[in-house]
Structure formats: structure tokens, C-alpha cells
Structure 1
Amino acid sequence: MKKIMAFGIVSLVLLLTACGNSAIEDFSHTDQRGEELSLENLKGTPWLSTFVFTNCTTVCPPMTFNMASIQEELAAQGIDQYKIVAFSVDPAVDDPEVLNDYLKKFNVPDESKWHLLTGYSQDYIAEYAKDNFKSFVKNDPSSDQVVHGTSFYLMDKNGEVANNYDGYGDVPVEEIVEDLKELLDESE
């Protein structure tokens, strides 16, 4: 009986550990301003992350608009200690100039908070998305489009995924803002 109980406790601990935050792998990529951004640069600050590409004809424009709406709400509440990081899933097309032009199409309240990243291969970002965000990235062989996940990820100050949300349809803006506030309160 004691062996069964010990096994149950060990199993529960392993399950709870697996459900906790997961740290992402280090990265260093070029943003839309031609500047390098790394996970190390983001340490100490919570950030929102997603995956987009500039010639997307479906989900990316609404997702970028939705992220800008989250930023509007953060600004309205006086919250300014965060970053927004979007990994391009079409890095062969999305160079810094293209990413910069893309971001200008959206009415973002504070462009300095945004980092649209490129400077890697598509194979790299497909693996990185899968391994670190449990998301998918795959070329559509019949078009110039890339199929990818539509989640927004809230990252804590240590570069761990604190939560994820729908970034396309029913975006929980208030929940994201409240969760970000909690992360900021924890870091004080």
C-alpha cells in the first residue's frame, strides 16, 4: 500500500511539474529596426509573443490588429513595462524593411514596444515554434502562404510561457491585461 501511495505522490508531482511554466530556448534575431533582440535582452520584463508573416492573406492582419488593441488597453491603464515580440514564419520574405512597412499599416500606440523578428530559416522557426510554444509552422505547398498557430503567449520576466490565449477570434483582452498586471506585481 505504501508503494502505491508513494507512486501516486511521485506521479502527481511529475504531472504538476509538467503543467507548470516552460522556459523557452535562447534566441537572438533581427527586428524590424535592424537591431538584434535576444531572450537575454527581454529578461526582467514580461512580454507578449506570437507568430505572423507580412504577406498573410488570412489570420495575421487580424492578429496584429488584436495585439495593437491589447496595447491600447495597456496604455489606457498606464502599463508600460512590457514588450511585444512577433516571430516571422516567412523569414525569407520578411526582412527588417518589409517588417517595418508591415507594422506601419497598423495603428499601434507605441511602436517602440514591438519587435518583429527575422534573420533565421523557416526550418528553424518551425522547430522553434514546436519545441518552445507547442505551436506549428508549415508552408502551404500550393501557395505563398504559411500555415501557423494563432495563439498569443504571455511570457514572464524569466522567458517562461505564463499563459496562452486565442489571438485571432475571441481575444480575451481584459484577461491578458490582468495577467500581465499580475506578472508585473510579482516582479516588484
Structure 2
Amino acid sequence: MMDVTNIDNNSSGNVDGPSDNPILKKQKRGIWITIVSILVVVSMFMGMFLHKITSPRVMSAEELRINGAIVFESPRIIKEFSLVDHNNQEFNLANIQGRWSLVFFGFTHCPDICPTTLAKLAQVVKQLDTDIAKQTQILMVSVDPARDTPEKLAEYVTYFNPDFTGVTGEFLDIMSLTRNVNVAFQKVVLDEDYTIDHTGNLILINPKGHYHGFFKPPFELAKLKTTFQSIVTQF
């Protein structure tokens, strides 16, 4: 008969189990480190991918031109001027510094081009990336100061967007500003009235208060938004 006392002590359960095996522990730790590392790398690439697809597209100078946006190699200095806004507050060079300005020169009696442009701008600002929208202002400078009082402009520009600003002033002061940004306008007499012929470009002024470039009409929503955001992103 076999003496049970001679059974190998290893059968009594004194051998370390698989969970206590140091080699297995090291292997498990290595696997977890590998998994975590892979997840970190994947997360980084996903973040970079999302940033790329959500960031404004940066366009070349040629692409900008094709899409109607002209950017000067050297932005042009705008001389000091003195006008008033639609709240009858002074409006001068300081008011176009510190953020981007999209400026349209028009008048409230304009039958089509002016209201169409302001309506388009109202659509554009709603679609701009939040950070770009915060640093952008829309201005309409009147080229018909005889009829466009601050009160008239207040009613007109805020109809399109409460944040739009209307600007008017003395005729010679307005003309001085238009010369700084290459905008032409002239009075055209009709039978018992008159209208104003004026440049339809949308003027772009950078945060330094310099004439940065312009957008040529007709203005298409997608093109205007994309080219403007590209210019701001590259600045």
C-alpha cells in the first residue's frame, strides 16, 4: 500500500498559482502598457484629424484671386478720419483697429446692390467660426450723407443685423476715406431725384487698421466665408 505521507508536498497547493506568477504579471503589464500607448496615439491622430477638418481652410493667393478675394502683399495705411456712427458717436481710425472690418460703401436709397450685399453679409457672419466671428465687424459707410443721417442708418443697417454699424459724416470726410481704400462714387441726377453710382467691392481692413484687400462682387456665400476665414487664419 502506498504511504500517503510520501506524496510530494507540491500537491498540497504550495506552488504559486498562475495569477501569482511574476512572469505572467510582467506579460500582462506589458500588454496593458501597449494597449494604453496605442489608444494615446490613436487619440492624438484623431484630435489632429478633427482639428484639420474643422479649422478654416488656408488658401493660396491664386486660389483667393480665383474666388474673388484680392489680398495686398503690403497692406496700405489708412489716414486718420472723423465720421459718426449710427448712434451719432464719433467714428475714427481707432474704431477699425483691434479686429477685422468688412466695409461696404453704399446708401439707404439703393434699390438692389446695397440691400443684397448686406443681406449676404448677414448670412456670412452667422456661418463664421465662433472665434473669427468674435473678431469681425460689419460696416456700411454711406456715400449719400445728405440723406443718410445717423437715425436713418440706424434703422437701415440694424434691419439686417443688430450688430452691423452704419457710418456717415461730412461729404469731404467720406470722400477722404474712400480715396484711402480705392472706392469711387458719384451722384447721378434723375428727373426729380438722384442716385449714387459707387464701387461694389467689399473692403477688408485688418486689426491694425490697414487696408488689407477687397472682395469683388458678385458675392457668393460659400466663397466669401471661405476666403475671409482663410485670410484671417493666415494673418
Is TM-score (shorter-chain normalized) higher than 0.5? yes
Aligned twin of 1:181: 233
Q: Is the CA contact (8 Å cut-off) linking 2:158 and 2:165 kept in structure 1?
A: no
The corresponding residue for 1:72 is 126
Residue 126 (structure 1) aligned with residue 175 (structure 2): yes
Higher helix share: 2
Paired residue total? 159
Which digits, 9 at most, give the CA deviation of each residue in 1:47-104, with x for residues without a partner? Answer: 1111011011131111111221221122x54431122222100011111110011123
User: Which TM-score applies when normalising by structure 2?
Assistant: 0.61
Partner of 2:37: none
**Which residue, 213, 216, 219 being the options, matches 1:166?**
216
User: SS of the counterpart of 1:71?
Assistant: helix
Q: Distance in 2 between matches of 1:73 and 1:180?
A: 15
Structure 1 gaps, min length 5: 1-17, 184-188
Structure 2: which 5+ runs fail to align?
Answer: 1-71
CA contact (8 A) 1:29 1:117 kept: yes
Aligned-residue offset at 1:162:
1.4
- Pairing of 1:10-159 with structure 2 (within 5 A): 20-74=74-128, 76-79=129-132, 80-106=134-160, 108=161, 111-112=162-163, 114-121=164-171, 123-129=172-178, 131-142=179-190, 143-159=193-209
In 2, the alpha carbon distance for the partners of 1:38 and 1:71 equals: 23
Q: In structure 2, what is the equivalent of residue 7 of structure 1?
A: none
Cα gap change, 1:146 to 1:166, in 2 (>3 Å): same
| C-alpha distance in 2 between matches for 1:43 and 1:150 | 23
* Bigger-Rg structure (1/2): 2
How far is the alpha carbon of 1:128 from its aligned partner?
A: 2.9
Structure 2 contact 120–219 (Cα < 8 Å) conserved: no
